[in-house]
Chain A
Amino acid sequence: MSGVEQTTAAAGSVAVEDQAAGVRAQARATAPSGDTPAPVGGTIVPRWLRWTLAGAAALVALWLPNGLYPTVAVDIACWALFAVAVDLLLGYTGLMSFGHAAFWGTAAYATGLAAIHWGLPFPLAVLLGALAAVVLAVPVGYLAVKRVGIYFAMVTLAFAQMVYYIANQWRSVTQGENGLQRVPRELFGLDLSDEYYFYYAALPIVAGGLFLVWRTVHSPFGRVLVAIRDNPARARALGYPVHRYKLAAFLLSAFTAGLGGGLFAIGHRFVSLDVLHWTTSGKAVIIVVLGGIGTLWGPVVGAAGVTRLEDWLSFAGFEQIGLVTGAIFVLTVLIFRRGLWGTLTHWLRRR
């Protein structure tokens, strides 16, 4: 079927295709973007700049544990995955999840338990954790996507709170407030006890997770998601089953958040109830807003900024970290609505 379609398309007027491609290229530059998230689906960023950016990001990622404490570098990588997962829903599907700690935390516990009890190599344990997050996301997402706006956020929050209390009560498995101690970091007998080396061992998983979301956003599926974000009723009238698309996006997001949560568990060799707390969901949303909703670089930059700032504040002996990140959050929402990355690209685009 798809082969037939392709042939017909190829046989279609070449001139029309050229015209369309030209139109595609110039149009983004002239279209005003207003206060809504950055245009999605195509891009005005020239190819060379995109590759330069990707190259620079790869270099920074490779250099990171040499310039920062390796522990902080690992945290940045985990939170980047988490934030990008939240942005897939918030920025590209128009769904504000306020309960993503459920998936991050469930994956952290599942990964920790798999590593402790089965002695699995850590990438396998992390993958298992992410799949556990997906299993949880099926019922949560199924019920949540039937609601919109604040009600969607409330349903996700309610489920996350439920998971938190279950984890708190189910002490035989989660060890309650003591948490899972001494999570092993097994990888074919390699010595990864040094955070510096663990960072590099974890990097392929992080890159894989980020690629998954990048691919999704720039796929035919991603185009449908943006259409749903902009106008769900219209998408339905075109024949798209909106609920099922939202659910699929929800599962992909839970999987990516789960990869981050699993790595977080292995990275800290410890899982506490904090990973399921609602403030963890809140922090992920704050990172996305600070970095820039509806951009993929934004959440990554936001994760680096927030994690680094928190580390610096706690190192300086400052107790009220939430006060500072909260204040920055308020300022961002009031003054830089596009977030760090969104503001930067908007500013560059206008010049």
Chain B
Amino acid sequence: MSSDHPALRARGLTKEFRGFRAVDGVDLAVAAGSVHALVGPNGAGKTTLFNLLTGFLPPTAGRIEVAGVDVTGLAPEGFARRGVARSFQITSLFGQLTALEHVELALQSGSSLGWKFWRSAKLMRRYTPRAMELLDMVGLADLAGTTADALAYGRKRALELALALALEPSVLLLDEPTAGMGLEDVDRTVALIAAIRTGRTVVMVEHNMSVVGALADRVTVLQSGRVLVEGPYDEVRADDRVITAYLGEGAVRAARR
């Protein structure tokens, strides 16, 4: 695909729930190879926008393009097959399957093997070496045989990342990758995202500003479903409108003093 197209683009993206506009005419262009953070106060529409960008919600109006190709209206599996992979904010795994089986399933999703009800599941072992590599990458190699239900919270989040990576995505959307994590896990996750961003485009919703500062090339601030400010992290952080949105008018005056 030619490089003048953004990896992911939204034009006038709008989502209405019974007259309430959760996302209101959002324009977004995520340059290929960049890390783009979506931030904003609670209720700003981040999660709705995220679900629109991955096909989990159909937009009321507007378009979505992946590398210049219109994908508006596709189902989530359609987005996945076009190289858009996502993680979930609330950890979302297959409780009874092991970590290894999770990654094997993700690796298999591109082939037709998943339809073969007349073949043995042992055939999925062709994915085992690559699955173990991915588990190793996120620090889960020792826990490959543990079922998802039995994994600790931080480990579940790591497995989420391994699953998204297994899809070899060109665009990786991470929904609050460090939510609910302890400091140590946050550092580990930041290092991991920094390592895997090479050759990929990453869009992340994130509350933790130090994580955003460490990783993001550009930041889009949402408020009431609209884009408030968009730009490089340092610029956005110093913007009065952003400080107001987060902390109220008083904070700007306080910052001025």
Which residues 1-56 of A sit at the B interface, judged by CB distance below 8 A? 1-2, 5-6, 8-9, 12-13, 16-17, 19-20, 23-28, 30-34, 36-37, 39-42
A237 close to B (CB within 8 Å): yes
Q: Across the interface, which residues of A come within 8 angstroms of B149, CB to CB?
A: 31-32, 34, 36
A226 close to B (CB within 8 Å): yes
Given contacts A27-B147, A216-B117, A219-B116, contact A16 B129 (CB under 8 A): yes
Q: Which positions in A face B, CB cutoff 8 Å?
A: 1-2, 5-6, 8-9, 12-13, 16-17, 19-20, 23-28, 30-34, 36-37, 39-42, 215-216, 218-224, 226-227, 230-231, 233-242, 245, 248, 252
A240 touches B129 (CB 8 A): no
Q: Mark B69-93, 1 if CB is under 8 A from A, else 0.
A: 0000001110011000110100011
Given contacts A20-B144, A27-B147, A230-B97, contact A222 B117 (CB under 8 A): yes
B192 close to A (CB within 8 Å): no
Q: Across the interface, which residues of B come within 8 angstroms of A252, CB to CB?
A: 117
A36 to B94, CA, bound (A): 12
A32 to B129, CA, bound (A): 26
B114 touches A240 (CB 8 A): yes
Q: Which positions in B face A, CB cutoff 8 Å?
A: 54, 56, 75-77, 80-81, 85-86, 88, 92-98, 100-101, 104-106, 108-111, 113-121, 123-133, 141, 144-147, 149-150, 163, 167
A6 touches B94 (CB 8 A): no
Q: Across the interface, which residues of B come within 8 angstroms of A238, CB to CB?
A: 77, 80, 105-106, 109, 163, 167
Quote the shortest CB–CB distance from A85 to chain B (angstroms). Answer: 14
B117 touches A9 (CB 8 A): no
Quote the shortest CB–CB distance from A45 to chain B (angstroms). Answer: 15
A234 touches B100 (CB 8 A): no
A222 to B106, CA, bound (A): 14
A36 touches B95 (CB 8 A): yes
Q: Closest residue of chain B to A213, judged by CB?
A: B117
Candidates B81, B115, B120, B145; contact of A24 at CB < 8 Å: B145
B111 touches A221 (CB 8 A): no
Residue among B81, B123, B163 having the largest count of chain A Cβ atoms under 10 Å: B123
Q: Across the interface, which residues of A come within 8 angstroms of B128, CB to CB?
A: 9, 12, 16-17, 20
Q: Across the interface, which residues of B come within 8 angstroms of A27, CB to CB?
A: 98, 144-147
Candidates B95, B96, B119; contact of A220 at CB < 8 Å: B119
A227 touches B94 (CB 8 A): yes
Interface of A is mostly: helix
B116 touches A39 (CB 8 A): no
A241 touches B98 (CB 8 A): no
A223 touches B101 (CB 8 A): yes
Quote the shortest CB–CB distance from B226 to chain A (angstroms). Answer: 27
A223-B105, A231-B92 known, 13 other contacts, Cβ within 8 Å: A9-B130, A16-B129, A17-B128, A19-B144, A26-B145, A220-B115, A223-B114, A234-B88, A234-B94, A237-B56, A238-B105, A238-B163, A240-B77
Q: Across the interface, which residues of A come within 8 angstroms of B113, CB to CB?
A: 2, 220
Given contacts A9-B128, A220-B108, contact A23 B144 (CB under 8 A): yes
Q: Closest residue of chain B to A24, judged by CB?
A: B145
Quote the shortest CB–CB distance from B11 to chain A (angstroms). Answer: 24
A239 touches B81 (CB 8 A): yes
Q: Closest residue of chain A to B56, judged by CB?
A: A233
A24 touches B98 (CB 8 A): yes
A127 to B65, CA, bound (A): 48
Quote the shortest CB–CB distance from B179 to chain A (angstroms). Answer: 17
Q: Across the interface, which residues of A come within 8 angstroms of B105, CB to CB?
A: 223-224, 227, 238
Q: Across the interface, which residues of A come within 8 angstroms of B77, CB to CB?
A: 236-242
Quote the shortest CB–CB distance from B156 to chain A (angstroms). Answer: 12
Given contacts A2-B111, A31-B147, A230-B96, contact A237 B117 (CB under 8 A): no
Given contacts A9-B128, A231-B94, contact A219 B119 (CB under 8 A): yes
Can you spell out 8 A-B residue pairs with CB atoms less than 8 angstroms apart? Answer: A12-B129, A24-B98, A40-B96, A42-B101, A215-B118, A216-B118, A223-B124, A227-B105
B100 touches A240 (CB 8 A): no
A223 touches B56 (CB 8 A): no
Q: Across the interface, which residues of B come within 8 angstroms of A37, CB to CB?
A: 96
Q: Closest residue of chain A to B142, judged by CB?
A: A23
A237 touches B127 (CB 8 A): no
A6 to B86, CA, bound (A): 28
B96 touches A237 (CB 8 A): no
B75 touches A39 (CB 8 A): no
